Structure 1
Amino acid sequence: MVKLPRWLRRHPDPSALASLEAPASPSVPTTARVVLPFIAFGVAWILGSDHLLDVLFEDKDLLRQLQSGKGIVFVLLSAWLIHELVRHSQRVSAHQRDVLRNERDRLAQILRVSPTLIYALRPPTAEMGWRIEHIGENVERITGYPAVDWLATPDYLRQHIHPDDLAHFDASQRRLMLDGELQHEYRFRRGDGQWRWIDDHLRVIFDADGAPRHVVGAWLDVTERKQAEIDLREAATRYQELFEINPWPMWVYDLETLRFHSVNNATVAAYGYSRDEFMTMTVADVRPANQYAELMQRIEQIRQRDDPFSISGELQHKRKDGSLFWIELSGHTFLRDGRRLRLVLAKDVSDRHRADEHLRLIGQVFQLSHEGIFITDARGRFVAVNQSFAEITGYGPDEVRGRTPAILKSGRQDAAFYQAMWSRLLRDGRWEGEIWNRRKSGEVFPEWLSISAIRDASGHVERYLGIFTDTSARKAADARIAHLQSHDALTGLPNAVLLADRAQVAFATALRNRSAVAVLHVNIDHFGAINESYGHDVGDTLLKTLAARMLAAVAPEDTVSRRGADDFIVLLAGSHTQELSQRALRLKDVLAKEVALGDQTFHVVASIGIAEYPTDGAELAALLQAAESAVQQAKREGGDRLGFYSRASHEQVRETLALERALRQALGRNELRLHYQGQFDAVSGALVGAEALLRWQHPELGLVSPARFIPIAESSGLIRPIGLWVMNEALRQVAAWRDAGLPVVPVAVNLSLAQFRDPDLRDHVIAALRASGLSATMLELELTESIAMEDSEHTIATVDSLKRLGVQLAIDDFGTGYSSLSYLKRLSVDRLKIDQSFVRGLRYDPDDEAIVRSVIGLARSLGLQTLAEGVETEEQLSFLRDEGCQQIQGYLKARPMPPEAFAQQVLLAASPPIVS
């Protein structure tokens, strides 16, 4: 509580405090001051004089006379003594009155000019409330109201208090009588109408019995101080608001301890830590660990600077998830409570850093690009060309500088072609197309050329940028790729895409001619046994032979398509059902002829399911399902026969549904298993990874093939929980091997399209890694081409977010999809897996060799690794090694094995350990 000033406590208002507290000064000597000296003098005189006379005189008459004289003398001396005592007391009393009057006058002058108003109150009684007994002469100057108004109205003060402060004022007055002293603040309306803040300090004066006699108060106008406090609070509030709503991260930290004092919302959002977490951290915690020495050097420079403001260059900071980003800091040092603090604003310059890096990369791309690049001025004269331009055309930079592209003309295009090209370029600012040019050697070659106009700020063309690719070597590859996009890679038959196109034509023709179309599902019986017994090379050769036979056995307007593995789809156009049945029987007979492959002769039988358009379905999908039901029925009846779609085929549907119900319970019943197949370095043979392969051990059906239950899982939505289980189980197994002291390698798991589209995929990956305790580098996620070819921002963002976690990414079965290769430029993947259908043909199929060679070269140019699947022979391995394929996977090195067998046969054989 604030006390009254010392001078005010020592010198109260004489007109108030003197009359209330101090007794009046006497104008005459007090009784004690007069009587006591007189008694002392009288006793001393009587006793002393009597004793003296008794000693000096013996004559009684003389003694009586002397006694009388002594009495007279005593009276005279007493009168003189009393006179002197009274005079002395009067002089002292007069002096005291003068001193007190001077003090009162001095204090009254001080109070007249003092900003403090002194007043006295009489405590409230049952009959009357608070009454003003005295108020200072400066009341009108301070309050704007004359003293007479204050003295005349008992409740005058309360009448002028701000309504919002009345409750607080009344409560404080009641507390005064309990505490004996009170200091409080309230707003008072002065005579000129202004509201002023008042600091009111009151003290109760008690009498000897402890009863309140008076209340003395000091009343001070503190509006300026109060307003300063309000302004300070508002300034602090505005600062806090600006601090919090600033879109850039801001924080305050201690320059000595480096601990955070406060952070704004943008900091929490940008770094991922909560405010409570920040309060336990230092600025070193948001910097990469390897930059600690640089940070401390920077802090020391800031501590020694005279200028409190500084701006840093581009720095890297670390988010809670471990990701790094580039920032630029500006800071200001200030003092608070004797501590040196620093206010920092962080500007995210990741985009600018990426732009600078992009410019640097563009420069490298210009020089290192395999595409020819040239830049001309507005008149078409060469300004700069890259190395590939010189390699493709034969002209070096010095030879073309200042000349026009006319030196490359081949004469294949006429003037109209160039006129149309320039017209389009000037109109749209871009032209792209194929053009034939001539090298310096005179050789004419095709190129794909793209020309773009580069304009200045005012829109005028100042440069032309040309990028071209020598397409002579690629034209054959384009034809091959176009063929692969619509045809099966192994047999050369139409694939599902081309089949759908031809089915639409066949159905339209049949509808127009009122004829029928048979959809045949051809399945080679017991083909899996041939693969197991003789290997995939023999199986692939057999499939190509059978495909050629079927193609030769049907009419030109019919279509033979390979659906996959040993399944074929045949479209037969005919006039009626009987004719279609006869043609299907002939096709079956053709397949049944012996096939001689080397020293082996094979007798092949096939089951054929037949569905008829439009009787069994109006869409290809429905007909395919019907034909599949029919062929499954034929196989259940023993195979080697025709099966026509009927109601009985719905049994297969029910079987599928039963399998789906069992699959839903497989996870809970612990029926799913993982087998592991090793991945090896193609040169050293060292174990470098393992792929986790899903198996289902059904209690009644035994080991269910993934080809049977994976499609059911995908169609039923079970693929997500199953895929999540696979990822967690594979990482758990690797962690168990590691804990057992085995040398472990990264494990690869497949991601389905449904898993990839799961918005929580990244969180699932993080949770699986944390549960296993493994680093992200121990996990590889394999994406199918169907995922990769979804060239969307979601796909790219998802791949980038996974890549930032540190996991490895691969494209599985590369080259088998019906897609463009452009997605590879935008996806941050690490490895391409060459499909085994291409690997099987190595050393005897030039087309397969060309495809594999192209994939390896493509991966090398993009900085990606390659892994070949299905490697079964030394010849295949030799080809892959010679072409630069880094890794292999297949029966040649290791089959898929249960975890126990994999640990015994593969991991223990890996020496030294790949990862400890």
Structure 2
Amino acid sequence: MARSRALAEARHQLEDQQSIQAMIARDRPLDDTLAAVCRMLERQSPGALCSIMLSEAEGARLRLVAGESLPEAYRAAVSEVAIGPESGACGSAAYRQAPVVCEDLATDPRWQGYHEITAEHGLRACWSYPVLASDGTTLGTFALYCREPGGPSEQEAALIGKAVGLVALAVERHRVRHSLRESEQRYRSLFAYNPDAVFSLDLEGHFVSANATCSTVTGYAVEEMLGAHFAAFVVADDLPRIQGYFEAACRGESRHYELDILNRDGERRALDLLNLPIVVDGRVRGVYGIAKDITERRRQETRLRTLQRGVEASVNGVVIADAREPDMPIVYANATFMKMTGYREDEILGRNCRFMQGEETDPEAVAMIRRHLAEQREVLVTLRNYRKDGTPFWNDAFISPVRDGEGRVTHFVGVLHDISEHKAYEARLAYHASHDALTGLANRALFEDRLAHDFALARRHGHRLAVLFVDLDDFKPINDSLGHAVGDRVLTEVARRLADTVRPGDTLARLGGDEFVILLPGLHHEEQAMEVAERLLPMVARPYCVDGHEHYLTCSVGIAVSRDDTAQPQELIQQADMAMYKAKQQGRNAYQWFTREITEKVGERVALRNDLQEAIDGGQFELHYQPLIGRGDRLAGVEALLRWHHPVKGYVSPARFIPLAESTGQIMPISEWVLERACRDMQALAARGLGQVRVAVNLSPLQFHRASFLATLRHTLQRTGLPPEQLELELTEGILMDDTEAAIDILHALRSLRIGVSIDDFGTGYSSLSYLKHLPIGKVKIDRSFINEVTLSAHDAAIVQGIISMAHHLGLAVVAEGIETAAQHQRLTDYGCDIFQGFLLARPMPLDRLEAFLRARLPA
């Protein structure tokens, strides 16, 4: 029976072992398997309590994983045990990798700290065996607790050894399976979550597997790709090359290359592809592919290449500095920058851009650059930099920060546009804006600026300054006769001579034409200005030699000196100008000081001119008519005389306003009005039954020489209806002597129109008598200055008698004007004068009184 019990026991042990081995083979949960091992040994050793502890991954501690028979409080106390030489039975066994038998827990020093709890639960002995892996590493411990002190018997040790073997097998197999599962999960994660396209092909080139990125790249679902041949995705022209790479991978060689594929929408995508052989048991079973979509990268590379070529070919200098380095060294400079600065690349790289600055570089612009760089902002400045050879150049510099993906500034890009030519052009414009192009002297704008500046200084320091206005005398004939080229050379020489007369601090300017001004600041006495004028007069008067010919010029100078009551500096220019005209009136080639009397006369002239214009616009003029009486007291006609009745000043003498109107050009509208008014008045007299009265109208030189004179005259006669035979025009000798040939042509035209012409004030001019016989005129009028003395002066009487005799021999009628006494009238009658005019016979009268005068002469 004993042998039967032993056989039965052995059979039970074998069955328990087989049952546990089956659990291990079936991959039952490790905790269940280990618990079954504990129960197995507890059945084989009645009264024993078993536990299994496994080492943590770091190998420093043991963790309780099985031991259901142990009291719960004890399990909690030993749930984790440190691995060490004196750490109880289990910690010591794991440390020593050898069994540790503690026969009496109550006295064993290795159980320090656990004596009380073991005693409480009746645990007296503990035998712990290490569980080792096949490679010798410690997997954990298997422990058996007894309630009586003592060590294991030989049979118990054998049973524990078998249990330890089963535990080692279960734990190691579990860890292998776990490692395989983890490796598989890692592989699947690498495959599934790889941002690149990962796939595998069989040896024929068909897709066996593909991750989701493959679908993203190609546009096809993974299910559509599986089983398809890779050639369906490759650009046809590139297929032979790709086929070669695939075949190389099938031979066990890896290949790395780029290719283009067509996605589902027909778009071309660029891939960076790595082909790897799949080797199993030493044989190639397929091909792995890892493809990175580089379409955007290639696009960026193309863009970068284009940008780089554009930067290299740019007409602007481009430089890049590293913002991460303390001194921001240059890391790139294009060819234009090197050409612009004259430095080689190795002389530029690594340096700060300040090496281009020099003594005339604007410090404010540099400070602005530094401030914006510190604030990491873009900046645009204009700088004067210097080339390697020291020559300056101007450039517009635009500097902009470059930021990385996180917004940090890594570099600064500077673009330099060379504006040296533009600056030079601006300088030339500024020079021409302030200087005369012909002479190089200051112009009016610059002169006025300096005048204002020196005027303010003179007031501040109590000094005087003077303005000299220089105008050349008779310069216009040089331009008219010899041409502007000669005139310009003369003006240039005049400018040079004037420049020799002034001090370094004085300002000489040309206002235009033949007008120059000189500013003399810092005068201590007025005589200094006079000394300058006295020096320049003879200097200007020296002959000018141009093209072998000598030309003579003089100038007139007006001088104005600042005084305490001078309000504005520009007044000095006006005053010097007025003084210059005074010098011309005094005979030219002289200088004249400005006086208040000049201002008053100019003021009167300006006021009179304004009043004259108001008279023209407001119709303030009147025509009076003075009868011309022929021999035998017959009416020979009337002379139209202009009268101006000012609303405030009354009648203004023609001697005052006619010369002014001649000089201002206002005589033209006045003359046209006189002509038309006289024609209409004569027509009015005819309409009132007073016959066809012949009217004489005085012509101004401007009116006579105007190109439209004849056309205007014809139009006036047509408009008024006056017969041309009733009109007579009176001209002075000066009109006829100015361009005589043209004047004679006009006189012939007047004769063809049947308009009479007489020469007024005859004998006072400088006309040539040889021309007189060729003039198509009908009358001459002896000037009143001869008539006044005809009875008192034998010389005047002889002149008058000679004029009458000469005129009659030329077939001309003679008119004597200004007759005021009967003796004058009788003397002229005796001399054979034809027509008489003067207060003695009839005074000038308005139209209504002329009408009465004419009616009184009608026969009864």
Task: Output the TM-score relative to the length of structure 2.
Answer: 0.32
Give the structure, 1 or 2, with the largest relative contact order (CA under 8 Å, sep 6 or more). Answer: 1
Task: Output the TM-score relative to the length of structure 1.
Answer: 0.30
